[in-house]
Amino acid sequence: MDYQNTLLYLYNSVPMFQQVGSSAYKEGLENTQALDEHFGHPHRNFHSIHVGGTNGKGSCSHTLAAILQEAGYRVGLYTSPHLVDFRERIRVNGQVIPEEYVVRFVEEERDFFEPLHPSFFELTTAMAFRYFSDQQVDVAVIEVGLGGRLDCTNIIQPDLCIITNISFDHTQFLGDTLEKIAGEKAGIIKSGIPVIIGETTPETKPVFTKKAHETGAPILFAEENQGDDYPGLECELKGLYQTKNTRTLLTAIPQLQKAGYKLSEQAVRSGFAHVCELTGLMGRWQKLQDAPTLICDTGHNVGGITYITVQLKQQSYRKLHMVIGMVNDKDIRGVLALLPEDAEYYFTKASVKRALPEQELARLAAEAGLQGDCYPDVPSAVRAAQEKSLPEDFIFVGGSSFIVADLLANRDTLNLH
């Protein structure tokens, strides 16, 4: 098989949450442990840092990887979902896993894994850990896929755990209260391993404190960190929500230094300043066009959209154009209630099965006082916004990671750079 056929095989033979949603979710770690044993426990061959939470875990993971790279470490980075190419999920020093490795892994191992019927994420995690071991990385930054307690990344014994925050997302698996969701996310807290909590609420803080106490894990709350060890720190990621992520990471760095990591001030500053270039991060308040300004962002739940709407209010423009699409298992009404009413909307859908039809989105949006037209796909919606915009206008594209993915996949045809 070539690379494209290998991907088709993966997407079609193992259920992929990105495409189909809840039917791809597998509870329990039996498959993960079977795969791990089959490959000789590759995650034991490198140090790791585990990053969970609802929002911000991708940005934190990439920034941490950038800092470690600048400090001279060989760094694995495992994140999800991908935006344009599957290989974005698995990187070493910013470079994506080669196509040939993906093809060979599937060809050589399918006789073992097919009878297991693993999920897409279970198989991808096994591939990542095997690749990082083969590549002899010093340390891997591992982003939790969904939840924590039963997530297949949770077999690692990391040097540090980070939980960014808790918001309502994936409530059908993780629970319908912040306490229940925090309980699942707190599942990555392990005996004696320090944990950094980025942001808390009155409902979630006791959950984390109790779990840390039970496991004997030292716990630090970034909100209580008032230190300014890096005055004038320049951050490449410009989203408002990055302020919280920055504080979380600046709380984590001294803990890593205590654990023996050599992280100079220069490495920290350079990692923050050049995270996209060093790690290939995309879709975080990313500017793709000037005059009119076009920004995309992968924020897709109430927690993420709250920050985006505040940031939109801080922009100066003649008119705001909002290209929006969502998937069908999110709190759609909750997100729509936050969006600005004084914008022109372009309702669309991403090219995944979970995408909410644009007419349905427009109907729900009208109930929230948002008006606009429907477009069958992201390129046509963005093109319409570009055609209706004057140079002093502002176009925002988002509502879902998959909307941003479709935008980035069509950058050339839309003349975006």
Residue-wise pLDDT for 230-262, tens only, equals: 999 999 999 888 999 999 999 999 999 999 999
| Section 94-119 average pLDDT | 95
pLDDT attached to residue 46: 98
- Nearest Cα to 211, choosing from 241, 190, 238? 190
Per-residue confidence band for 57, with pLDDT thresholds at 50, 70 and 90: very high
| Local structure of 180: helix, strand or coil | helix
Q: Which residue has the higher pLDDT, 9 or 156?
A: 156
| pLDDT at site 17 | 46
Residue 144 DSSP label:
-
Binned at pLDDT 50, 70 and 90, residue 15 comes out as low
* Strand pairing category for 394-398 and 320-324: parallel
Which superfamily, per CATH, for 3-279?
A: Mur-like, catalytic domain (3.40.1190.10)
pLDDT, average across residues 220-238: 93
- Summarize the confidence of residues 145-151 as an average pLDDT: 88
Given a cut of 50, is residue 20 above it in pLDDT? no
Fold of the domain spanning 286-409: Protein-Tyrosine Phosphatase; Chain A (3.90.190)
pLDDT tens for residues 126-136?
A: 999 999 999 99
| pTM reported for the whole predicted model | 0.93
Identify the pLDDT of residue 16.
58
**Residue 289 · residue 411 · CB < 8 Å:** no
Q: Distance between CA atoms of 286 and 52, rounded to whole angstroms?
A: 23
Residue ranges covered by each domain of the chain: 3-279, 286-409
Closest CA to 58 of 214, 228, 286, 210: 286
Cα 204 to Cα 200: distance, rounded to the nearest angstrom: 6
- If you search the block for the tokens 């140090």, which residue do you land on? 47
pLDDT tens profile 357-413: 999 999 999 999 999 999 999 999 999 999 999 999 999 999 999 999 999 999 999
Q: Is the pLDDT of residue 329 over 90?
A: no
DSSP string, 181-216: HHHHHGGG--TT--EEE----TTTHHHHHHHHHHHT
Share of the chain above pLDDT 90, in %: 84
